[in-house]
Chain A
């Protein structure tokens, strides 16, 4: 073949090869630019254009970024979950509203107010009203008394949220019934103590004054008799106060095994005369053979005795007071039921307070000290016992004391003793 043809062919080939290389260079470069731009657009961080040589590099970067993104999301999800769980654990209802007054976030305690009915519907309405105030930029709060039942007081507070473009507000709903009750106990206690102590002291003073210069033998006798009665009353109050503070100061209840049936029968015996005088019959029924608990006999006698004493005092003559002792499951239950005047529902929560009186006017008539049920409650607390009252005005009251039985303790004592013996 002609060398010219050969050289032409070679030249052509070289030209093609060169063109290919050049084209490829520019193509690659263009592609790299494109890849770079799209990576920048996606917001990934790359040190320089050089890092991106091939399309695969981009893939690697995207893959890495997606992986990071996913772990970020997981982390923020778990943080969100933790925050939500923390909110749910709050006893206070928390609701976050947007500027329009629609709920964005809420915790578990706020559910009753969102799907509101009955009393909660009123709380829900108050929340909506106050959120409107908060959305206009100022804090607001109001206390709502709900008559239930159960009677309760809730405090609704709304606070505007710091604005970052979107307006919004947060609402809290808090049950402040207990707080209110404690405040009432504190303020009433002083008034009640002074009433209980000052009344007999004042009476003694007045009676003594009348006695001065009194000649008539009968009147002197009567006045002296009444002074004596008032003095006895003060003595009784002091005795009860000492008993109460003794029971309060004891931590726990001792470790003796006490037969509750026997305690109850002693208590009934103690108030036999009072019952006869009031024409009330006290009946003791023991339904279980084993009524042993761990505790202190003196406290228990005081507790059961006070319950029986009250039952007799507030019974109508001719009625029956039933005292029942029985084992129910792992508990020993002592019930004292009367058919007397009963306790108004609104007072039931407060009767265990010191010196609390359902009816102040009656206190002198019945002659109690106003400390009996406080003693009962403290004795119960010392024995890990539950105390429960059911009462209906005009039908009577039932007080139930539920003690943990001694079964577990005696068993463990029996198993513990041999091991101790082995060791020694």
Chain B
């Protein structure tokens, strides 16, 4: 029996290491995709798109591993939460990788458009901010640091502000006819991809909080709904009281 517990924990460790690796792949592809975008590197764009296969492969393997452990070991309590969190994180990370593939594809669509330094600077900063958030989220996961996990939501504000500035800069560039409408729309979408990566990092942070404490932010909303329903039920009951009395 103790032998079996040991292998179970080994499996949990393996899952954790694999997720850290998946996170590292995502952390690498963010600056890499940005460099491709800023240097108009078509070969690099293709390489980023192909590199995503490795990410997909690893995330599939992690997912299967999680199902395997769930089915065979039937973990409880915090072990169960670790596995479920692993499943969630895999999805979030895989999606973040896909967003960088979208950036690479967007790079191909705007080929030949020269970006003014201000736009380039903002893209660089959004990329740095997105990869910083991703790293913090992964740190929170690896260290099981719930408070860091929750804080990522607030840290993400910087990226949101940058995204706003970036959209402004696109408008300016378009107004001065530096870039056409199509390129503007592509650039706006690219900005949106970075902003989404930040959101995925926030989600990861919240899931880490769930893993450690068993609590999710959505539960506040759910609790409100329950309170509202029971209040409505009470009012409904009060209203129906006279009827019941009259019935007697």
Residues of chain A at the chain B interface (Cβ within 8 Å): 116-122, 125, 146-149, 151, 341-342, 344-346, 392-395
Contact = CB atoms under 8 A, between A and B. Distances in A.
Interface in B90-107: none
A118 B141 CA distance: 12
A342 B135 contact: no
B151 interface: no
A118 B116 CA distance: 32
Contact of A345 (B25, B122, B124): B124
Contact of A393 (B21, B28, B120, B135): B120
Contact of A121 (B24, B35, B116, B117): B24
A209 B21 CA distance: 63
Contacts of B135: 118
B75 interface: no
B32 interface: yes
Contacts of B122: 394
Contacts of A395: 118, 121
A392 B121 CA distance: 6
A126 to B, nearest CB: 10
Contacts of B120: 344, 393-394
Given A122-B25, A342-B117, A394-B118, A147 B20 contact: no
A346 B21 contact: no
A116 to B, nearest CB: 7
Contacts of A122: 21, 24-25, 28
B119 A394 contact: yes
B21 A121 contact: yes
B52 interface: no
B165 to A, nearest CB: 11
B117 A118 contact: no
A117 B116 contact: no
B37 to A, nearest CB: 12
A147 B21 contact: no
A118 B121 contact: no
A151 B30 CA distance: 12
B176 to A, nearest CB: 13
B23 interface: yes
B27 A125 contact: no
B170 interface: no
B62 interface: no
Q: Which 8 A-B pairs have the closest CB atoms?
A: A394-B118, A393-B121, A394-B121, A394-B117, A147-B31, A121-B24, A341-B117, A393-B120
22 contacts: A116-B24, A117-B138, A118-B24, A121-B23, A121-B24, A122-B21, A122-B25, A122-B28, A125-B21, A147-B28, A147-B30, A151-B31, A341-B117, A342-B117, A342-B121, A344-B38, A344-B120, A392-B124, A393-B124, A394-B117, A394-B119, A395-B121
Contacts of A116: 20, 24
B225 interface: no
Contacts of A125: 21
B125 interface: yes
Name the prevailing secondary structure of the B interface residues. Answer: helix
Contacts of A341: 117
Given A119-B27, A346-B35, 9 more contacts: A117-B20, A118-B23, A118-B135, A119-B24, A120-B24, A122-B28, A125-B21, A147-B28, A346-B39
Interface of B: 17, 20-21, 23-25, 27-32, 35, 38-39, 116-122, 124-125, 128, 131, 135, 138-139, 142
Nearest to B131: A149
Contacts of A392: 121, 124-125
Nearest to A345: B124
Contacts of A119: 24, 27-28
A344 B131 CA distance: 17
Given A148-B31, A344-B38, A392-B125, A117 B142 contact: yes
A125 B116 CA distance: 39
A58 to B, nearest CB: 45
A146 B121 contact: no
A96 B121 CA distance: 44
A395 B121 CA distance: 7
Nearest to B118: A394
A273 B135 CA distance: 49
A205 to B, nearest CB: 30
Given A393-B117, A394-B118, A395-B121, A147 B25 contact: no
Contacts of B116: 394
B119 A149 contact: no
A182 to B, nearest CB: 21
Nearest to B120: A393
Among the interface residues B28, B125, B131, B139, which one has the most CB atoms of the partner chain A within 10 A?
Answer: B28
A282 B34 CA distance: 34
Contacts of B23: 117-118, 121
Contacts of B38: 344
A409 to B, nearest CB: 41
B116 to A, nearest CB: 7
Contacts of A345: 124
A146 B30 CA distance: 11
Nearest to B24: A121
A307 B105 CA distance: 39
B138 A146 contact: no
A121 B20 contact: yes
Contacts of B124: 344-345, 392-393
Contacts of B39: 346
B31 A117 contact: no
B118 to A, nearest CB: 3
A117 B121 contact: no
Nearest to A121: B24
A117 B139 contact: yes
